[in-house]
Amino acid sequence: MSKVQILGPKSMLSEAINALHALAVVHIETTRECSDLDETYFKRMPLQRDKVEEKTELHKALEELKNLLFLLKRPLRVEPVTISRVQINEALKEAEKIEEKVRSLHAERESLVEELTGIGRYERVLRGFATLVTRLGGLKNFDIIGLTLEKNRADIITLIEGELMEITGGKYEIYTKDLDDTTKGLVLAYPSRFSFKVRSLISGEALNEIRLPDKYGDMALLDVLKNMTIRKEQIPWLIHELEKDTDEISELWFGRIEGLIKAVENTLDEIGVLSYCAQTRHAFVIEGWAPREMTGPLTDKFKEIFSDKVMVRELAVKDKETPLIPVHVHNPRIIRPFEIFLKALPTPKYGSVDPTVFIAIFFPTFFGLIVGDVAYGLIILILGLILRKVTKGKDFFQNAAYVFTICGMSAIVFGFLFGEAFGDLGERLNIMHPIVFDRVRALTTFLLLCVGIGVGHVLLGFVIGMVNHLSRGKRKEAAAKFSYLMLTISFLFTVGVMMNYLPVELKTPGLIALGIFFLLVIFFEGVIGPLEFISTLGNIISYMRIMAVGTASVVMGMVANEIGGLTGSVFLGVVIAGALHTLNIGLAILSPSIQSMRLQYVEFLSKFYEGGGREYKPFKKK
């Protein structure tokens, strides 16, 4: 990374910021923190009052736009709309009108939904009262009240009758009907002049009066039921029409609102970057970091835009600034998708090793070793290609699909080497046979292969760490990594002699080397050194999981074929075996991924990966 400084007259600050925003190259820093200019000549740039007001208004507008976008429906195809900064105010006025219309449609829809819910709630009860109230329909100067109560409180009815007798002098009617298993309905009819006393009576009891919406308040019950039935049929159609209007607005405006949101966010970014700038009486200063290979094009572009009025220059990086340098992880396109594995880790420290290339090699290799089945690998490959096709524009899923596509290819290759397709189906049909070895019959060979891979992988981690420390002038750390490396090799050498894999004459040299490097590990790392060495041996043994999980997958495939063959029916056998193979394929995607990731993170990267860096975030438009 190169440290760059942009200098120019204050009158061209906005243009310079716009250019930086469009070029998306410079990671802008607070100038005072990394400037080589004398502080007596420049000060932090204050935010002008008009900019503060603009920022406040744009933040408010941004919230309203996001709320509007939430109210709209995303169309199946969204046409991207680019809105320039000069178009924002006019676009915001249009969006305000659209928001008012959409909110009106939503409010109307909510009102209809609430009315439909109310109709459903009242209709059941009113129908229960209908036959009772009809009998009272001809009474003049009488009030009619509908009530409900729980059946277990039915004794209240007797008390109410006694009170009504006293209040009205016997001039009342009361009818009851079971509405459902738990609710009883009552209809009271009494002279209107006793209304106040009767209502005071029922308000003190465990009764619920049936209160209709205001629009039905002056209607007779039968008219209420008739109107509710009509509205119950009308409302779904009205809601559909409102949703149709909302869909039409969404089709026209969703992409434009999204573009407007991005334009507002970009403008806020440009206002926000002013707080990182510094100024002299007549000039502005912006400083930051850019990838070394982009510094030249950046300078040329500024010269093309501003001639010599705005200058870009490269500054020397001081030692104290090294920890501040942002990390720009950039790999060749073929392995770039494997950078998703770094998302689970802290940003690598500047100058340390980017492990992406190693993960791109070893993750698919371990995955293929575990799955090792041509048919399973082909299915995983096809699923990866499908996922890539249906997730266009979504970087994470695109990268994950690419990784699984490569892993599917790896599983196919190892499937040919192990002679496996749907477990032992290929061998049963006499179309495939193991080329290297049979994983089920040669468990010892498979185990030794996995442990051997573990030795190589772990030792490679030590070598990478040692070389990286040497390149950065950290000799002591490099010596410690070398001691771990040689101690591990000496130990494995000695074990090989004791197990008769190596000549017995090499036992003494092996023990001497083991002792020397054990002492060196203690010298460089202290008491934690031996513990770390034991952990390293555990790391190597951990690679046995490749054999264990891989063999389990093979056996499950063989069991599926065996069970399918015992059914006595070709159709039923294919269905049962297919179901078990489908389950095994699901496990073949999940389990090998987890195990391979663990071997990368815990056993391998722990030997050299250094986190704690700052991520490179260029100033770029949304």
pLDDT tens digit string along 166-223? 888 888 777 777 777 777 777 777 788 888 888 787 776 666 666 666 666 666 556 7
Can you give the pTM of this predicted structure? Answer: 0.72
Q: Which residue has the tokens 């790392």?
A: 525
Which tokens go with 5?
């400084």
pLDDT digits (tens, 9 = 90+) for 441-469: 899 999 999 999 999 999 999 999 999 99
Are 27 and 291 in contact by the 8 Å Cβ rule? The answer is: no
**Euclidean distance between CA atoms 62 and 56, whole angstroms:** 10
Which contiguous run of DSSP H or E holds residue 177? strand 173-178
Task: Return the pLDDT at 34.
Answer: 46
CA distances from residue 2 to 289, 304, 400, 515, 585 in whole angstroms, order as listed: 6, 21, 32, 46, 48
- CA dist., res. 16 & res. 617, Å (int): 18
Separation of alpha carbons 167 and 172, rounded Å: 10
CATH pick for 113-234 out of 1.20.1090.10, 3.40.50.300, 3.30.70.2750, 2.40.50.100: 3.30.70.2750
- State the pLDDT at residue 138: 47
pLDDT at 608 over 50: yes
Q: Residue 422, by phi and psi: left (phi above 0), alpha (psi -120 to 50) or beta?
A: left
Handedness of CA 509, 514, 517, 523 (dihedral sign): negative
Residues of the chain with CATH 3.30.70.2750: 113-234
**pLDDT over 70 percentage in the chain:** 91
